A and B are shown apart, each in its own frame.
Chain A
Amino acid sequence: MIEVENLRKEFKKTIKDPGLRGSVKSLFRPKVEKIVAVNDISFSVPEGEILGFIGPNGAGKSTVIKMLTGILTPTAGKCTINGKNPRENRKNYVKEIGVVFGQRTQLWWDLPLRETYGVLKEIYEVPDDRFKKRMAFLNEVLDLDSFITNPVRTLSLGQRMRADIAASLLHSPKVLFLDEPTIGLDVVVKDNIRNAIEEINRQEHTTVILTTHDLSDIELLSKRIVMIDKGQKVFDGAIADLKTKYGQIRELDFETDCPDPERELDYINRFSLGEDDISFEREGMSVKVRFNSSAVPVSEMVGYTLGKINISDISVKDADIEEIIRRLYSQGVEQ
């Protein structure tokens, strides 16, 4: 469905030295620097998949998405959706995609929401009968009826997001791009939106590309992720693989009446661990220890802990994806 080959994007940037002198200097001799925002990225997405697209801030996520949606022209490489290239026939290409940027809206701000759909119907040339059916479907999934006559500027953030998703789906696109669809929403609303995305994907086999800061979005919605950092792809595969590749992190949970278990256990000296290999969290009686199982085997860790202090209710878990990604972001990724 989506093929991305050796995609690259460079930007030119004028650099200004700080202060008034810098301003004056750049007036006469501006310094220009080339910045590579996306460097040789390739991946493909089969029809009907929900792909999680993640990476730290400034990694180039938005730039990739903007090239895929035909907003930016790639410096090199190409992307095709259903065999169509955005640069050859943009108008034809964008009919097959729907785009939602969480921070921006494509709704007409001053008008009742219903009017936006009327205008989009014309823009996308949706015939009357199909439009009716479509609105009924979108209303069922996204529950628009309660606010469809209100001016867009009066909608809550959650309502606006639902309305925006509906707007992007009005023309039944084959691919849906969602950039931070749950940003700034509370838990219940997030849940609604996730369910809606899942429902649409299930019913219509819409391919979804999802970027988000909220990793629970990804864990709940997608089986596969592509992660990029500093403009390059650093991981592409199933979430389970990410866990096995980077996930030697285990979590040891137990309860103890020991007053200061961290000092008492002193893992760092006992196993000569680095700062990054272990973290310690305590809340009343319960303790969470996250540790790198390649630095110290799980069995040794459990045995040592049980022998050292008085413990009840011990368990060992895989770390969740959030923990893995947090560590990857903070350490940088070595390939």
Chain B
Amino acid sequence: MKSIRRALKMYRIFAAQELKRMMEYKADFVIGIIGFLLAQVSNLAFLWLIFRQVPDLMGWSINEIVFIYGFSLIPKGIDHLLFDNLWAIGHFIVRKGEFDKYLTRPINTLFHVMVEKFQTEALGELIVGIGLISVTLPQLNVQWYALKIILGIIVIPFAALIYTDVKIATASVAFWAKRSGSVIYMFYMVSDFAKYPATIYNRVVKGIITYIIPFAFTAYFPAVYILRDENPIYCIGMTVVISLALLALGVFVWHKGTRAYESAGS
């Protein structure tokens, strides 16, 4: 309990520092958000143009598809907002030997790296995600009950954790390979599949995003529970289980990695 309190306190301090920094570079902050907003708008325009041609996509209406798309942006945006500094491990922190600093401090290195920065551009994704959900939900015929609302909210941090887990495990590759930006990128891009209903993919792709790099649990499975009342034990329960199991794996690889860390010659 004490360590959680300390962790939150640390996070608050780093976040406050980041906000101060952000205020110094307001224009950059706005540009970043616009960039991510535009990227989403472009994808939505694509969906809109497609639905001018067909009434539904393999039984999914445009509202359902846009809901899933919007839902997928929320965990993605949360991870992006809070834990984006992991990319820096893959890009330069390890290669330039800057990881030395973390190792000389009496605090968990992974935690320290994760909370040190936060990425305000992610607000672009979060705004679009929340916007799309609020626009599509009233038009969808969804059965609402207390459990569903609770589960729908609980699942979000775990879904976000799946993104973080994948980033931790892939960023750790840098401890052996010096840089791992490309590895993180390759795995992170698999999340593109999560934006659409998994039923449009073939068995191989579905298998990969369900069992191997389980991004299907970040949006599709929670969304089908919300939209179509499919088995919550699987759709929500598995999201929680998988995110925690992957976290254990990520932390394990990270700690192996810090032992293999070679710093930078000087």
Q: Please list the residues of chain A having a beta carbon within 8 angstroms of any beta carbon in chain B.
A: 11, 62, 66, 69-73, 87, 90-92, 94-95, 97, 99, 101, 103-104, 106, 108, 110-111, 115, 118-119, 122-125
Contact = CB atoms under 8 A, between A and B. Distances in A.
A71 B104 contact: yes
Given A62-B266, A72-B263, A119-B14, A110 B106 contact: no
B106 A123 contact: yes
A125 B104 contact: no
Interface in B98-113: 98-101, 103-108, 112
Interface stretch (B17-25, B49-57, B83-91, B136-144): B17-25
Nearest to A62: B266
Interface residues of B, number: 28
Nearest to B16: A115
A73 B104 contact: no
B266 A123 contact: no
Given A66-B100, A125-B6, 7 more contacts: A70-B103, A71-B99, A101-B100, A104-B100, A122-B6, A122-B10, A123-B112
Interface of B: 6, 9-10, 13-14, 17, 20-21, 24, 97-101, 103-108, 112, 259-263, 265-266
A119 B17 contact: yes
Contacts of A115: 17
B106 A95 contact: yes
A115 B19 CA distance: 13
B259 A99 contact: no
A69 B106 CA distance: 12
A124 B104 contact: no
21 contacts: A62-B263, A62-B265, A66-B100, A69-B103, A70-B104, A71-B104, A72-B263, A73-B261, A90-B103, A92-B106, A94-B105, A104-B101, A106-B104, A108-B17, A111-B20, A115-B17, A119-B13, A119-B17, A123-B10, A123-B107, A124-B106
B104 A111 contact: no
A94 B262 contact: no
A70 B263 CA distance: 11
Contacts of B259: 73, 87
A178 to B, nearest CB: 13
Contacts of B260: 73
Contact of B17 (A104, A111, A125): A111
A135 B105 CA distance: 19
Nearest to A9: B262
Contacts of B105: 94, 123-124
B17 A91 contact: no
Contacts of A90: 103, 106
A11 B13 CA distance: 38
A145 to B, nearest CB: 22
